[in-house]
C-alpha cells in the first residue's frame, strides 16, 4: 500500500491540470507536490504523467491509475459529508441501558418526546438491573443510580434519588406510627435486598447519622415489587420517591419519621471517556437533565 497522500496529491494535480494550481488549491508548496508525485511513480515503477514546459498529460497507465485515485477522493468527500451531518443532527442508533424500575417509569415515557425532537435517531434500550459493561455490551450510555459515580467512566449527574420511610394508612392504623427511629424495631420493616446491608437502615436525622437495626417478614430485590407490598399494608419500607411520589401525593402511602432520611443517591448518565462525545449521546444527556434536574417532578409529587 502506497502513501495515500501521494495518491491524493497526484489526483489533485490531474484535476488542476498543473502542479502550480494543485499546490495553490491544497495550500502547500509546488515542490512538495512534485516530490510526492515523483515518489509515487518511483514506488509504482511507472510513469504516470507526461511533463513539459507547456502542458501536462496522463500516460495510459496514469489514466487508469487516476480513475482509482479519483474514486478515493470521492469516498473521502462522502465520509466528510457524513461526519458533518452527524455533527449537525444526531443520527443512527442510540443504545441505552437503564434499571428496570427507573427505566420503565421515567425513561421509557420520556422517549416519545426525545425522539420527536430527533427524528433521524433510533433508540435501542435495554431494561435490566444487571451492571452492564459499556464496552463488552456495546452501550452508548447507561443510566445508573448510585451514591457516587464510577471512577473509570465519565458521569453526568442528572437528578437526586431520594427515599422515604413509607407505610399504608391501614398498616399505621393497625400497628401505630413510630415516632423515633428506635421504635422501628417494633414494626415489620420490609427490606430492599439489592445492594442493601441486611438488617440495618442508615439514616440521617436532626442530630446526624444513625443506623437502625430493623427486621421484617419480607425482603425483595425490586423496589416496585416492594412498594406493592407496602401499599398492601404489610409493613414499612424505605422507598424511592421516583416510584411512590404519586402514592404519597394521593395519600395511599404516608411518610413516617420525615426528619430521618437515607443518604441521597443520584441518577448518573455514564459513558466511556471520549474526547469527541457523539452528538447522539450529548443530546440525550441534555434532554434528561432538562426533564429531571435538581428538583425532579417525582419529588414535587412526594412533597
Reported as type and span, the H/E element at residue 205 is strand 200-205
- pTM of the predicted model as reported, rounded to 2 decimal places: 0.70
User: Under a CB-based contact definition with an 8 Å cutoff, are residues 110 and 284 in contact?
Assistant: no
Those residues of the chain that have pLDDT short of 50 are none
Average pLDDT, the chain: 89
pLDDT the model gives residue 301: 82
Q: Tell me the per-residue pLDDT of 100-148, one tens digit each, with 9 for 90 and over.
A: 999 999 999 999 999 999 988 999 999 998 888 888 889 999 999 998 8
- Residue in the block written with cell 452528538: 279
* Domains of the chain, first to last: 4-88 (1.10.10.10), 92-157+270-292 (3.40.190.10), 163-262 (3.40.190.10)
User: Under a CB-based contact definition with an 8 Å cutoff, are residues 10 and 66 in contact?
Assistant: yes
Among 73, 3, 65, which residue's Cα sits nearest to residue 36? 3
**DSSP three-state, residue 72:** helix
Integer Cα distance of 237 and 41 in angstroms: 79
CA distance from start to end of the chain: 68
pLDDT the model gives residue 179: 94
Amino acid at each position: 500500500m502506497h502513501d495515500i497522500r501521494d495518491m491524493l496529491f497526484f489526483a489533485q494535480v490531474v484535476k488542476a491540470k498543473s502542479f502550480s494550481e494543485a499546490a495553490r488549491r491544497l495550500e502547500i508548496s509546488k515542490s512538495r507536490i512534485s516530490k510526492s508525485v515523483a515518489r509515487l511513480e518511483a514506488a509504482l515503477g511507472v510513469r504516470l504523467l507526461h511533463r513539459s514546459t507547456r502542458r501536462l498529460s496522463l500516460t495510459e497507465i496514469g489514466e487508469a491509475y487516476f480513475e482509482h485515485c479519483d474514486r478515493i477522493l470521492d469516498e473521502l468527500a462522502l465520509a466528510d459529508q457524513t461526519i458533518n451531518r452527524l455533527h449537525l443532527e444526531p443520527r443512527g442508533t442510540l443504545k441505552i441501558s437503564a434499571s428496570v424500575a427507573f427505566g420503565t417509569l421515567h425513561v421509557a415515557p420520556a422517549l416519545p418526546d426525545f425522539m420527536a425532537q430527533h427524528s433521524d435517531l433510533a433508540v435501542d434500550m435495554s431494561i435490566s438491573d444487571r451492571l452492564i459493561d459499556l464496552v463488552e455490551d456495546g452501550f452508548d450510555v447507561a443510566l445508573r443510580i448510585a451514591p457516587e459515580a464510577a471512577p473509570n467512566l465519565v458521569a453526568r449527574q442528572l437528578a437526586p434519588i431520594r427515599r422515604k420511610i413509607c407505610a399504608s394508612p391501614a398498616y399505621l392504623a393497625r400497628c401505630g406510627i413510630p415516632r423515633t427511629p428506635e421504635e422501628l424495631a417494633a414494626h415489620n420493616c420490609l427490606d430492599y435486598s439489592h445492594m442493601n446491608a441486611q438488617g440495618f437502615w442508615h439514616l440521617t436525622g436532626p442530630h446526624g447519622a444513625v443506623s437502625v437495626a430493623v427486621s421484617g417478614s419480607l425482603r425483595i430485590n425490586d423496589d416496585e415489587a416492594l412498594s406493592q407490598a407496602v401499599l398492601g399494608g404489610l409493613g414499612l419500607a424505605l422507598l424511592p420517591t421516583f416510584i411512590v411520589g404519586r402514592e404519597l401525593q394521593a395519600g395511599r402511602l404516608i411518610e413516617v419519621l420525615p426528619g430521618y432520611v437515607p443518604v441521597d443517591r443520584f441518577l448518573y448518565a455514564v459513558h466511556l471517556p471520549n474526547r469527541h462525545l457523539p452528538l447522539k449521546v450529548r443530546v440525550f444527556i441534555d434532554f434528561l437533565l432538562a426533564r429531571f434536574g435538581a428538583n425532579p417532578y417525582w419529588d414535587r409529587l412526594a412533597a
